[in-house]
Amino acid sequence: MLEILKKVKSKSKDEKITSRIFRLSGMEKGINNGRNVDTYSRLIYIHGTDEEGLLGKPVSKGSIRMGNKAIIDLFDRIPVGTIVNIIR
Protein backbone atom coordinates (compact mmCIF):
# COMPACT_ATOMS: atom_id res chain seq x y z
CA MET A 1 0.00 0.00 0.00
CA LEU A 2 1.21 3.44 -0.94
CA GLU A 3 -0.17 6.91 -0.40
CA ILE A 4 0.00 9.89 -2.73
CA LEU A 5 1.87 12.36 -0.56
CA LYS A 6 2.59 15.16 -3.01
CA LYS A 7 1.41 16.35 -6.43
CA VAL A 8 3.68 18.35 -8.76
CA LYS A 9 3.12 20.03 -12.12
CA SER A 10 6.26 19.82 -14.23
CA LYS A 11 7.51 23.20 -15.42
CA SER A 12 10.23 22.24 -17.89
CA LYS A 13 9.66 20.75 -21.32
CA ASP A 14 13.24 19.42 -21.24
CA GLU A 15 12.62 17.05 -18.32
CA LYS A 16 12.35 13.31 -18.88
CA ILE A 17 9.53 13.30 -16.31
CA THR A 18 6.88 15.35 -18.06
CA SER A 19 3.51 16.95 -17.28
CA ARG A 20 2.48 15.67 -13.81
CA ILE A 21 4.02 13.74 -10.92
CA PHE A 22 2.47 11.90 -7.96
CA ARG A 23 5.16 11.38 -5.29
CA LEU A 24 4.41 8.23 -3.34
CA SER A 25 4.99 7.33 0.28
CA GLY A 26 5.04 3.78 1.59
CA MET A 27 2.70 2.79 4.40
CA GLU A 28 4.19 -0.57 5.47
CA LYS A 29 7.09 -0.38 7.95
CA GLY A 30 10.08 -2.43 6.76
CA ILE A 31 8.52 -3.08 3.34
CA ASN A 32 8.20 0.37 1.74
CA ASN A 33 8.38 2.76 4.67
CA GLY A 34 11.52 3.51 6.66
CA ARG A 35 15.28 3.22 6.29
CA ASN A 36 16.67 1.82 3.00
CA VAL A 37 13.29 0.66 1.68
CA ASP A 38 11.47 3.97 2.02
CA THR A 39 9.42 4.79 -1.08
CA TYR A 40 9.32 8.54 -0.41
CA SER A 41 13.06 8.99 0.15
CA ARG A 42 13.81 6.81 -2.92
CA LEU A 43 11.73 9.26 -5.03
CA ILE A 44 9.24 6.70 -6.37
CA TYR A 45 6.62 8.41 -8.53
CA ILE A 46 3.70 7.93 -10.85
CA HIS A 47 4.49 10.34 -13.68
CA GLY A 48 4.07 11.30 -17.31
CA THR A 49 6.85 10.52 -19.78
CA ASP A 50 8.24 11.84 -23.04
CA GLU A 51 8.82 8.24 -24.17
CA GLU A 52 5.22 7.03 -24.51
CA GLY A 53 6.28 4.44 -27.09
CA LEU A 54 8.07 2.56 -24.30
CA LEU A 55 5.04 2.34 -21.99
CA GLY A 56 4.43 -1.20 -20.80
CA LYS A 57 8.13 -2.06 -20.93
CA PRO A 58 10.36 -2.21 -17.81
CA VAL A 59 12.62 0.81 -18.39
CA SER A 60 12.14 2.72 -15.13
CA LYS A 61 14.02 2.14 -11.87
CA GLY A 62 10.86 1.98 -9.81
CA SER A 63 8.50 4.67 -10.99
CA ILE A 64 5.26 4.04 -12.81
CA ARG A 65 5.14 5.88 -16.13
CA MET A 66 1.91 6.89 -17.85
CA GLY A 67 0.95 8.69 -21.03
CA ASN A 68 0.70 12.45 -20.53
CA LYS A 69 -3.02 12.73 -21.36
CA ALA A 70 -3.81 9.98 -18.85
CA ILE A 71 -1.67 11.40 -16.03
CA ILE A 72 -3.06 14.92 -16.54
CA ASP A 73 -6.61 13.56 -16.33
CA LEU A 74 -5.78 11.50 -13.22
CA PHE A 75 -3.95 14.43 -11.60
CA ASP A 76 -7.07 16.57 -11.76
CA ARG A 77 -9.25 13.86 -10.17
CA ILE A 78 -7.08 12.21 -7.50
CA PRO A 79 -6.33 14.13 -4.27
CA VAL A 80 -3.25 13.99 -2.07
CA GLY A 81 -3.78 11.27 0.52
CA THR A 82 -5.26 8.78 -1.94
CA ILE A 83 -4.22 5.19 -1.19
CA VAL A 84 -2.57 3.39 -4.12
CA ASN A 85 -2.39 -0.39 -4.30
CA ILE A 86 -0.02 -1.58 -7.02
CA ILE A 87 -0.73 -5.09 -8.20
CA ARG A 88 1.81 -6.84 -10.35
Q: For residue range 11-31, list pLDDT tens digits in order.
A: 555 556 678 889 999 999 998
Architecture of domain 2-80: Beta Barrel (2.40)
User: CA–CA distance from 23 to each of 7, 11, 43 (Å)?
Assistant: 6, 16, 7
pLDDT bucket at 2, cuts 50 / 70 / 90: confident
Question: Quick one: DSSP state of residue 45?
Answer: E
pLDDT digits (tens, 9 = 90+) for 51-71: 888 888 877 777 888 888 899
Of 50, 46, 53, nearest in space to 71 by CA: 46
For the chain, domain boundaries: 2-80
- Cβ neighbours around 45 below 10 Å, total: 21
